């Protein structure tokens, strides 16, 4: 569990670090420009880290499934080799996917404007800036996002169906509460993250200019939530629900 939590922590730190510092600079400074390379790197890391978080959350759900539904086989199934392979596979697939999207996006001609109507470099605002038909790029983006998000979400959902079914079979209320408490933090983080991602990428795009402007404003608001707010909340959620952390805080308070 802590191995995958460390991966999630690295993702959240890198995710915020690739977007928030430049966002704060643009908010305070008069010069709100960003270099082409800087924009490409920001887009690359945003896509890669966002997708990696989806898969890591699904892997963590599977880890909880094995811990609760097959506890006697946990050390055999979730061995170091499997954990390392799952983490490496998650990072590798998402980095490759991000590289393809960034290359295709920056090959588009931008003759309408060089003003990115967004808080950071993301694909949808670039599609609106291009003077070429971007239906292929949009279709590829939605297809890849749908596959990654839906596969991760389905794995998470299936894991929790088995987990809840197993918890309900536990006769003692203390046993049920203890089993569910091990999943509460992860379930909260999953709900926050998938909710904003699905709202952002799974709704249809409008072809009317007024609706496009409205959509752009909604995109900017939602993007702040999953790039800055969610990474900030994740460690707080896990800390509040972690018994070791709570016991340590209580001991420190009692000493003072």
Report the CATH number at residue 148. 1.20.1070.10
Q: How far apart are the first and last CA of the chain?
A: 31
Q: How confident is the model at residue 202 (pLDDT cuts 50, 70, 90)?
A: low
pLDDT score of 208? 43
Q: Could you report the per-residue pLDDT of 85-141, keeping only the tens digit for each?
A: 999 999 999 999 999 999 999 988 888 778 887 888 888 888 888 888 888 888 888
pTM, full prediction? 0.82
- Residue numbers of the domain that contains 92: 2-255
Helix-then-strand count for the chain, H and E: 10, 0
Instruction: Answer yes or no: are the C-beta atoms of 234 and 189 closer than 8 Å.
Output: yes
d(CA 161, CA 170): 15
Q: What is the mean pLDDT of the segment spanning 160-178?
A: 82
**Do the Cβ atoms of 218 and 206 come closer than 8 Å?**
no
pLDDT at 207 exceeding the cut of 50: no
Residue 214 has a pLDDT of: 60
* Total count of domains within the chain: 1
In this structure, what token pair is assigned to residue 23?
Answer: 């966002």
Rounded Cα distance, 6 and 11, in Å: 9
pLDDT > 50? residue 209: no
């Amino acid at each position: 569990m802590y191995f995958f939590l460390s991966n999630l922590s690295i993702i959240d730190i890198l995710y915020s670090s690739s977007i928030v510092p430049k966002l704060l600079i643009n908010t305070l400074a008069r010069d709100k420009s960003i270099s082409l390379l800087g924009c490409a790197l920001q887009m690359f890391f945003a896509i890669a880290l966002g997708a990696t978080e989806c898969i890591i959350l699904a892997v963590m759900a599977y880890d909880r499934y094995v811990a609760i539904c097959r506890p006697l086989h946990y050390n055999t199934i979730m061995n170091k080799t499997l954990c390392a392979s799952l983490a490496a596979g998650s990072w590798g697939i998402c980095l490759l996917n991000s590289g393809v999207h960034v290359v295709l996006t920056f090959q588009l001609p931008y003759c309408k404007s060089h003003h990115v109507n967004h808080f950071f470099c993301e694909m949808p605002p670039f599609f609106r800036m291009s003077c070429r038909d971007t239906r292929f790029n949009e279709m590829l983006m939605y297809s890849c996002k749908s596959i990654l998000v839906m596969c991760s979400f389905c794995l998470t959902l299936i894991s929790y169906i088995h987990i809840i079914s197993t918890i309900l079979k536990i006769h003692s209320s203390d046993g049920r509460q203890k089993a569910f408490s091990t999943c509460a933090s992860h379930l909260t983080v999953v709900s926050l993250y998938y909710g904003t991602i699905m709202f952002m990428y799974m709704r249809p795009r409008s072809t009317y200019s007024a609706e496009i402007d409205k959509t752009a404003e909604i995109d900017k608001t939602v993007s702040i939530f999953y790039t800055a707010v969610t990474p900030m909340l994740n460690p707080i959620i896990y800390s509040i629900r972690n018994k070791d952390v709570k016991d340590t805080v209580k001991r420190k308070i009692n000493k003072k």
